[in-house]
């Protein structure tokens, strides 16, 4: 897992972006400790998944659209921190709707629910000392 400063910077990127981004997806997977191979820009082959692939054990899988799809973001959170509580809510303002998420007492905001959940998740992973005190197995040092 990346250093806390990098995780926090990535959480800020999730909150600052107006829409999901495949490069952001790859950065999130890398920050959470996965080996990622990005799709080269010069390859337009349909066989290579959009965004690239990541390694899980001995297998390579298509990179999930974690910044766009709430199901992918929740799945990644459950995989990395199965015991953590989380929530996402929509807050409707005068001009537009926004989302707020809470993961293990860390909050995040975003234009899309998945981005808000990613921001909160990355902030929770950045708080490694707090996580160890709470007994979160995902934050234990290897």
For 39-135, strand residue ranges (E) read 52-56, 59-62, 86-92, 97-103, 106-110
Q: Is residue 92 part of a domain?
A: yes
Q: What is the per-residue pLDDT for 142?
A: 35
For the chain, the C-alpha Rg in angstroms (whole number) is 15
Q: How many domains does the chain have?
A: 1
Over residues 3-12, the mean pLDDT reads 94
Over residues 77-81, the mean pLDDT reads 94
Domain that residue 125 falls in: 4-134
Q: What is the per-residue pLDDT for 43?
A: 57
Q: Is residue 140 part of a domain?
A: no
pTM for the whole structure: 0.82
């Amino acid at each position: 897992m990346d250093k806390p400063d990098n995780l926090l910077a990535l959480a800020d990127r999730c909150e600052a972006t107006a829409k999901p981004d495949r490069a952001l997806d790859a950065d999130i997977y890398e920050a959470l400790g996965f080996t990622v191979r990005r799709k080269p820009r010069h390859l337009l082959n349909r066989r290579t998944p959009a965004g690239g692939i990541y390694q899980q054990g001995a297998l390579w899988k298509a990179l999930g659209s974690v910044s766009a799809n709430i199901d992918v973001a929740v799945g990644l959170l459950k995989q990395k921190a199965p015991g953590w509580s989380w929530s996402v809510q929509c807050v409707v303002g005068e001009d537009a709707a926004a989302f707020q998420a809470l993961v293990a007492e860390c909050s995040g905001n975003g234009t899309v629910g998945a981005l808000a959940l990613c921001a909160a998740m990355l902030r929770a992973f950045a708080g490694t000392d707090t996580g160890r005190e709470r007994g979160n197995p995902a934050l234990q040092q290897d």
